[in-house]
Structures are given as C-alpha cells and as structure tokens.
Amino acid sequence: MNEKTRPNDYIIDLKHISKSFEDTQVLDDISMYIRRNEFLTLLGPSGCGKTTLLRIIGGFESATEGEVLFEGKNIGDLPPYKRKINTVFQKYALFPHMNVEDNISFGLQIKKMDKKLIQKKVYEMLELVNLKGYEKRSIDSLSGGQQQRIAIARALVNEPQVLLLDEPLGALDLKLRKGMQLELKKIQQKVGITFIYVTHDQEEALTMSDTIAIMNEGRVQQIGTPVDIYNEPKNAFVADFIGESNILQGIMLKDYLVRFHDVDFECVDRGFGENMPIDVVVRPEDIKIVDKDQGMLNGLVESVTFKGVHYEMIVKSTSYSWIVHSTVMSPIGSQVGMVITPPDIHIMKRR
C-alpha cells in the first residue's frame, strides 16, 4: 500500500497529521490509509513520534493539525471510549486487586451487560488467548506473558474494530517475546480486526506485520510490506534501519551507471539524472565473494564471525569496510574479490 493510493478496504484515514508540544514539533504532516484486518506496525527509533501518533488515533491526544477519519468520519472530537478503538499499553494496566475474570469483564460490567452474556464472552476471550481455566486466578499469580494476554483479552472483549498496541511485549524477555509475537499474529488473524502496533524492534516488525510504516523525526519515511521495504528501501535511513546494509555515497554517470568507491557499476535505471549525487545501498548477502582480481573490487578479510546460517565477514577495500554475508568462509587476512550484480545495487536520492 502506498501513502497516496486509497485502498477500497481502508478503515482509518490519517490526513496531514501534525503535532507540536509547545514549540517542539513531533509529528510532521503524516498522511496514510490503514486497512481493515491489517496488521500495521509503526516502526522507528526512540522519540520519532510513534506513541504520539498512536495516542492521536486512540483519542488520548489531539492533533495540532490534520484529521483522523474512521470509516470516512472525522473522529477528532470523540473521546477514547466512544471510538471503536481499544488500546493495550506496555504496562498492562490490569487491576491488581481483581481476579482475571473481573479484569476482563470490567468494561462490560460498567455497560451493565447481562451477567450470563458477560461470562460467555469472558470464556471466549480466555480461549482466544490460550488461558482457559484461569478465570479465578489473581493477577499477581500470573507471569508477565500471561498478564499481557489478559490485557489483550480485556481490550478485545469490547469488540473494537481496531486494536492499538504500544510496545506490548517490551517488558518480556527475548524468548517469551518471540513466542508472543507469533501468538499475537494468530490472535489478530482469528479476530479479523485491524491491529496497529508500535515497536522500535525491526525484527519484530518484519515477523508480524502485513504493512510497516517506518517513521523518523516525526515523518513517515516509507510504507509497504516487509518484503518491499527490505528489498526496495526508499532512502538510506530505511535501508539502515531495516536489516544490515552497506551504505555509500555515489554519483550518477549515466542513467544506468553509477560511480561509488571510485568504481563504475552498472545499475537499474531509476530515472536519476547525470551527475546526481545519490546514496547506494548494498545488502551484505548480495555481495558474492570470488577469487582475488575476479570481481569488481578486491579486499582484505579483516574479521569473520559465524552466525549460524552464514559467516559475517568484514572485508576492507581501499576506503570502505564491507559487511558481507556468505555461506563460504574466507580466512582472516586473505585477499578476495567481490561481485555485486546490477539489481542488487540500490540507488536512492541522497538524504
């Protein structure tokens, strides 16, 4: 999905959202569509404005400029509880003095829903989050991961059309987090609603999302599927943030010829004019190691680290240390050649 093209099945339309706190602008003209049933992740470094954008969608903060449309209607004036949107925070915000059942059903009890119906819904939710039989347990007796599932159940029992999740797995240890990532994705697919998920962890975003919006300094840098963003980063920031990259500065010689690192490389024509300064991104797995003098570049292997499926090598050529991922190991101190084919030379406008 592109920020400019409107999908038929969109549920939220963010129109030119900007936000300032006093003199500091933290969001700068954000426009995008969010589709029904999609798992969308806002990904970016700390302080780039992810949480602020999520809070504006949820109604906890208002935009300085711009509109949030939900099913085509401006919901800017609606308080959070009147939106068909619920939020799961990193700190689960469960009531410690209530048991699991009362925590999940709290919102429904306030709405004075029929007791039998409440009980049915609570059981359905516990089944959904894989905690059947836990209804009478106290919150204190649950692990971090279990508490997070209860927080999700409590948000979903209100049957929102959109669930906002702000770094919900941030407090869990790595192994548990990985398990919960898959679990969350399954839950989203089962309930079939939109999840908008905030994280600064690129691997988490790649694992779970249908769509990723990469943010930096209050702006959306790129929106796309994980595969698109990884394979076709729009600028050097995105390339650097998603996965490991070799990033160099270059200059266009012709529409299909770029010079970087004092070498002329053929590349795919992206419509950049002659003499245009550009950034060049080459992924470590796209560099093929060959014998010395058999490639476009020669280099000295400076380090080798075994990473399980590949070796990560640092190969120093005249003025740049390349990160190379290869299934074949070249010993430290050896001279090697390197080949990079035109489709693997990603050229983009200089930041």
Which residues contribute to the site for ligand ATP (CB under 6 A)? 21, 26, 44, 46-52, 200
Residue closer to ligand ATP by CB (options 44, 299) is: 44
Per the rule left: phi > 0, alpha: psi between -120 and 50, beta: everything else, 3 is alpha
DSSP per position, 96-148: TTSBHHHHHHHHHHHTT--HHHHHHHHHHHHHHTT-TT-TT-BGGGS-HHHHH
Residue closer to ligand ATP by CB (options 25, 321) is: 25
Residue closer to ligand ATP by CB (options 22, 140) is: 22
CB of 46 to ligand ATP, least distance (A): 3
> Is 43 in a helix, a strand, or coil?
strand
CB of 238 to ligand ATP, least distance (A): 16
Q: Which residues contact 256 (CB under 8 A, 6 or more apart)?
A: 266, 267, 268, 269, 342
CB of 200 to ligand ATP, least distance (A): 5
CB of 51 to ligand ATP, least distance (A): 3
Contact 129, 153 (CB under 8 A): yes
CB of 188 to ligand ATP, least distance (A): 21
Residue closer to ligand ATP by CB (options 181, 199) is: 199
Task: Kindly report each contact of residues 173-177 with a partner whose C-beta sits within 8 Å and lies 24 or more positions away, as own/partner.
Answer: 176/144, 176/145, 177/204
CB of 208 to ligand ATP, least distance (A): 17
C-alpha torsion 203→11→83→166, nearest 10? 10
Residue closer to ligand ATP by CB (options 43, 129) is: 43
CB of 240 to ligand ATP, least distance (A): 17
Residue closer to ligand ATP by CB (options 28, 264) is: 28
Query: Which residue, chain included where needed, has tokens 């970016």?
Result: 44
Per the rule left: phi > 0, alpha: psi between -120 and 50, beta: everything else, 242 is beta
Beta pairing, strands 277-282 & 288-290:
unpaired
Residue closer to ligand ATP by CB (options 201, 210) is: 201
d(CA 2, CA 11): 15
Contact 34, 14 (CB under 8 A): yes
Query: Which residue, chain included where needed, has tokens 């999908």?
Result: 7
CA-closest candidate to residue 161, choices 344, 339, 347, 10: 10
Residue closer to ligand ATP by CB (options 205, 315) is: 205
CB of 23 to ligand ATP, least distance (A): 10
